[in-house]
């Protein structure tokens, strides 16, 4: 499964997998507990493939940040938990992304990135490479 089927839903913890669309929204399945919920079109929903992190030069797609974490952790879980104190989170993120914009990337953003990376890893979603145009998607 690629990041364009993985969602973050405002007000709900964790990540969700897009299951199917309905007439006035869609059905999503939690990657944490596998429970399905219906989500209306009015909900604040973000697709992980559309999220980017601010750097001093540009906006870096989230999948590229995940790739950097994957390389640093040699494919394993992060060496730091998402509930660590602010200074430790910022030090860890600086190791991964030395040019991230400290004024626009908050500790809460870093927590989410670390938590999301670990959730994806637990669910076997580890291919963060960009999909090629016209390539068939295998799940």
DSSP 8-52: EETTS-S-EEEEEEETTEEEEEETTT--EEEEETTS-EEEGGG-E
Q: Rounded to an integer, what distance in angstroms lies between the CA atom of residue 12 and that of residue 8? A: 8
CB neighbours of 89 closer than 8 A, spacing ≥ 6? 80, 82, 107, 110, 111, 114
Coil, helix or strand at residue 107: helix
- Residue 132: its pLDDT value, please? 52
Summary mean pLDDT of the chain = 92
Average pLDDT over residues 51-80: 96
Query: Once rounded to an integer, what is the mean pLDDT over residues 104-123?
Result: 97
State the DSSP code for 104: T
Distances (CA, A) of 49 to 15, 53, 102: 13, 12, 22
Residue 10 has pLDDT above 70, yes or no: yes
Predicted local distance difference test score (pLDDT) of residue 138? 42
Q: Which two tokens stand for residue 61?
A: 């797609």
* Nearest-angstrom CA–CA distance, 138 and 93: 31
3-state secondary structure of 127: coil
pLDDT exceeds 70 at position 58: yes
Q: What is the pLDDT of residue 131?
A: 64
Percent of the chain beyond pLDDT 70? 94
For 22-35, what is each residue's pLDDT tens digit? 999 999 999 999 99
Q: Work out the pLDDT band at 12, boundaries 50, 70, 90.
A: very high
Task: Write down the pLDDT at residue 130.
Answer: 76
Judged by average pLDDT, the poorest of 47-56, 92-101, 115-124, 129-138 is 129-138
Instruction: Output the six-digit token pair for 138.
Output: 């295998």
Domains of the chain: 3-48 (2.30.30.730), 51-122 (1.10.10.1650)
Are 33 and 79 in contact, with CB atoms under 8 Å apart?
no
């Amino acid at each position: 499964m690629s990041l364009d089927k993985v969602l973050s839903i405002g007000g709900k913890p964790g990540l969700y997998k897009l299951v199917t669309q309905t007439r006035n929204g869609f059905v999503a399945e939690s990657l944490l507990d596998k429970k399905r919920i219906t989500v209306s079109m009015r909900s604040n929903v973000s697709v992980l493939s559309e999220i980017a992190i601010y750097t001093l030069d540009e906006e870096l797609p989230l999948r590229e940040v995940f790739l950097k974490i994957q390389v640093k952790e040699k494919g394993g879980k992060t060496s730091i938990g998402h509930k660590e104190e602010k200074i430790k989170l910022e030090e860890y993120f600086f190791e991964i992304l030395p040019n991230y914009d400290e004024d626009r990337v908050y500790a809460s953003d870093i927590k989410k990135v670390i938590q999301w990376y670990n959730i994806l890893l637990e669910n076997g979603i580890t291919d963060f490479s960009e999909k090629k145009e016209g390539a068939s998607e295998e799940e």
